[in-house]
Amino acid sequence: MKRLVSLLLVSVMLMGAIVGCTAKTPADDTQQSPPPATGNVPAESAGPAEPAKKDTLVVGISVEPQTLNVAEVGLLYTDTVNRLLYDTLVRLDQDMNVVPQLAESFEPLSDTEWKFVLREGVKFSDGSVVTSEDAKASIELVAASAAIGAYAGWLKEIKIIDERTFIVVTKQPSERMLADLCTYSFIVPKKLIDSGYNFSEGPVGTGPYRLVEWKRGDRLIFVANDEYFLEEDRAAIKNLIWRIMPEGIARTIALENGEVDFLFDVQASDLKQLEANENIEVYSTPYASPFYIAFNLNKPGMDNLNVRKAIAAAINRDNATLLATDGYSPTFYSCAIPGMLGSTNENAEPYNVEKAKEYIAASGLSGDQLKFTVICKEEPFKIALESIQADLLEIGVALDVQMMDTATYTARGAEGSFDMITGKYNAFDLLAYAEGAFKTGAAFNFNFISDPYIDGLIEKGTGTIDNEARGAIIEELISYCNGLALRTGIYQLTTIRAFNKDLGGFTTNLNSYDRFNKLYWK
């Protein structure tokens, strides 16, 4: 059975002030037992036996989280697990509105000051109460992160007023500050941050689930936090098992035979098969992230603008997308996805084989000078690259496609050990995307470019609150980066989930933030 949800990609417009309700203070934490080996627990009954009540959800996912330390990486699979264990001050709801989470309320005091008040009595899983000092230390931890520091790059200082009240001061007016706090500023205890604690060994957070066991390479086992501070958001399913299943066909078979209940990522070639299964529901909605190819300008050949433009122009994106996603995802050829504030195709290279051949001729390169490697870490991207590999042969470019595990991919990406790299980068707006992708020294600047003009536009846009003016700055920035052919888009990612039809309550948003605590067995 198929359910298709179409959402328009829009920029997040931050509200001047949103005030939430105070949550009830939870009781002291108690020791919780690991989940049972089976997902069914017999219901007690003095009369005839009743059907077993399901209290376990098994999720199949292709990629294992790299870490449970909250400021080390910015990858979707890691973020998804972290949202089970930790909370942010505010979050983005299903409609991309900023709503209170650990913060009871928040309001602007000036263009550069925001006052936050924490909910009273919220406790971490170690029993300590969440305070303003914890919030301050957690946000500062993000600001100092080499991987995700851009998500707090606006931070000037945090002033503590009392145990529950603090003021965030930005360097300049920042339109994105609230949305950034929704993204990566998970709140953890200051005392553990100060001690250099490894959260991967034992996460301490406030989230709706707690980690029971992490069997590396196999599964993560969670149990519901029965005293979660938001009663309406307490997990309806007590036990959650996160199975690491790299092979797409294995995940599909496991869902069909009931071995797993929910697929976080679905192999495109199996979609029609799953849609035809009356016991399975398939959910699809746009995701605010591109699948792109970036060029390492430090590598011979990749430093040639004509070569980069030729490769971008030679790609038949329709074919690559059909093979990789079964046509579920829309194609694009700019360096940034369409439909967002400031998006443009200006100076980007659409599919045009003859034009690609002209660029190759103009490059002055041939033969072995046109042999390149491209690295990836996900099966759909590999499938798309194999189609692109054939496209590039038409213009004399030989592409060696190398798929690897996440750790190797991340290491090679950081050290620049590649000619081209594929990636996806979720951002709530294109300025945030550009800051992570093109700013000097940024974590996802796989071009290794340092361009004062790009840096200047990013800084200018970050301090611009007026939406129309900000949009014009972003459009100028994207057009300029398109002209340099720093990266080329292939398709916009689509959030596709498949799950047992007896599950209810599934919600997500354009950032692909699934709320597993809202799922329930019907």
Cβ neighbours for 454, distance < 8 A, ≥ 6 positions apart: 434, 438, 439, 440, 477, 480, 481
Closest CA to 378 of 25, 14, 30, 62: 62
Label the pairing between strands 113-118 and 165-170.
Answer: antiparallel
Rounded Cα–Cα distance for residues 255 and 250 (Å): 9
- pLDDT at 436 (0 to 100): 87
Q: State residue 151's pLDDT score.
A: 87
At residue 187's C-alpha, the angle toward residues 181 and 191, to 5°, is 140
Q: In the chain, what are the helix, strand and coil shares in percent, each to the nearest 5?
A: 30, 25, 45
Phi and psi torsions of 208, nearest 5°: -70, -15
The pLDDT score that the predictor gives to residue 4 is 40
CA neighbours closer than 13 Å in the CB half-sphere of residue 327? 1
Q: Per DSSP, what are the bridge partners of residue 486? A: none
Report whether 181 contacts 12 (CB < 8 A). no
Strand-pair category, 155-160 with 113-118: unpaired
- How remote is the C-alpha of 505 from its chain's centroid? 21
Q: Round to whole Å and give the CA distance between 249 and 273.
A: 11
Q: Provide the pLDDT for residue 51.
A: 43
User: All domains of the chain, ordered by start, with CATH?
Assistant: 87-197 (3.90.76.10), 209-279+501-521 (3.40.190.10), 287-494 (3.10.105.10)
Whole-angstrom distance, CA of residue 73 vs CA of residue 145 = 9
Q: Please list the pLDDT of the chain residue by residue as tens digits (522 residues).
A: 544 433 333 333 333 333 333 333 233 333 333 333 333 333 333 334 444 558 999 999 998 998 999 998 777 788 899 999 999 999 988 888 899 999 999 999 999 999 999 999 999 999 999 999 999 999 999 999 988 888 898 999 999 999 999 999 999 888 789 989 998 899 999 999 999 999 999 999 999 999 999 999 999 999 999 999 999 999 999 999 999 999 999 999 999 999 999 999 898 889 889 999 999 999 987 777 889 999 999 999 999 999 999 999 999 999 999 999 888 889 999 999 888 889 999 999 999 999 999 999 999 999 999 999 999 998 889 999 999 999 999 999 999 999 998 889 989 999 999 999 999 877 678 888 898 899 999 888 999 999 999 999 998 998 888 889 999 999 999 999 999 999 999 999 888 899 999 999 999 887 788 999 999 999
